[in-house]
Amino acid sequence: MEEWKEYRLGDYCDFQNGYAFKSSEFKTNGEYKIVKIKELKDGLVKFFDDSASVDVQDIKEFEKYKIYRNDVLFALTGDPVSKPNPLSWVGRVSIYRSDENALLNQRTCKIKKSERIDNKFLYYYFRQWENFYALASKATGSASQANISTNTIADTIIKLPPLPTQQKIAAILSSLDDKIELNNKINTNLEQQDQALFKNWFVDFEPFGGKMPEGWKVGKLSDVAEITMGQSPDGKSYNEDGTGTVFYQGRAEFGTRFPTRRLFTTEPKRIAKKFDTLMSVRAPVGDLNIANEDCCIGRGLTAIHSKDNHQSFVHYTVLALRLKLDVFNGEGTVFGCINRDALDNMEVIIPSKTDMNKFEEIVSTLDTEIFNRSEENDRLKNIRDTLLPKLMNGELEVNKIEY
């Protein structure tokens, strides 16, 4: 086996800190997206509806802050390791898998490309749990906010194989992530088709001459759906070792479309059924996911279930309500919330059973494809996460792996 040697990371590569953009410069649809700490999520850079952007008069002034595809970024500020959610810890690493124009904000940094070490290899190195935890554990700060510097990352002692082996390891793991990314793009396209068809039929009424057909009516959400408000089980029953029923406490577990398993409970209270629409009912109100299995839901969520097997119709009905900006303003505390009565009485279009059946037949087929690709992604992630430590520790001979 090729020899792996220990090196100080900073002797092989340099780092670039982000720029301190002023919030007064931020726009909704600027030319360059701004990558802040919050955009570094679960190994990727993810933009959100409220992600900031800027227009830049002379990009040469900001050239060193530009982010390119496959750049590797770190969060220099975040939660300490004493907090329960590693997705928000300081030191988390992400890779930029986009071609969109973007600039690096303060308290984030990127690894400058080096001819002596493979950037993607470093990304996967710090995605390995032990290495991520070791870096995050070096942070200083308070119980509510931890900080590291580029010097902290540079001082990491890393065991490296020769550069060609680094590149092969990164290529094996990247091939799995590339397939995951492709599946996500296909799923996004299918969901956009679903939304467009819903709008075409039930908002614009285009197939029906632009007006609501006879036999349709305006009703309430409770006319077509059963609504179950979540109730959190005893906190002593929570666990992360897979004992009991999967438990989604709130939107923290939400993914792109389906939630991510993190917590379990041995004392489930309120149960959502597989494929129910899950909606956050507090802080913030209105974020949506779909239950990919029967699960316990906490008080931060509600489950919305079709009364007559038109779950895709119900889901896109709720999504359309969500997209109306003022619908989910909520009530109560500064955090905002929405109660059962308010949900029950949401005004919705109720088509004839014949038209609802036609829509369901088309869209449920696409939704099944989305679910199957999401399941495939879970399998690919498990393969990747199983291979990751073995490749990084030199246990597997990369030349013998087909990919």
Q: How do residues 339-361 score in pLDDT, each as one tens digit?
A: 999 999 999 999 999 999 999 99
Q: How far is CA 228 from the centre of its chain?
A: 25
The overall pTM is greater than 0.85: yes
Q: Indicate the residue type of 287.
A: D
Q: What is the pLDDT of residue 256?
A: 85
Sorted by sequence, the CB contacts under 8 Å of residue 9 that are 6+ apart come out as 117, 122, 153, 154, 155, 156, 157, 158
Residue 332: its pLDDT value, please? 43
Q: DSSP letters along 25-88, please?
A: G-BSS-SEEEE-GGGEETTEE---TT--EE--S-GGGGGGGB--TT-EEEESEEB-TTSS-GGG
44-45 and 40-41 strand pairing: antiparallel
Tell me what pLDDT residue 398 has. Answer: 83
Residue 96's Cβ-count burial label (10 Å; 0-12, 13-18, 19+) is buried
Q: Which residues of the chain have pLDDT under 50?
A: 325-327, 330-335
Residue 172 CA to residue 230 CA, distance in Å, equals 42
SS3 for 331-348 is ECCCCCECCHHHHHCCEE
- pLDDT at residue 50, as a whole number: 86
Query: Alpha carbon 190 to chain centroid distance?
Result: 18
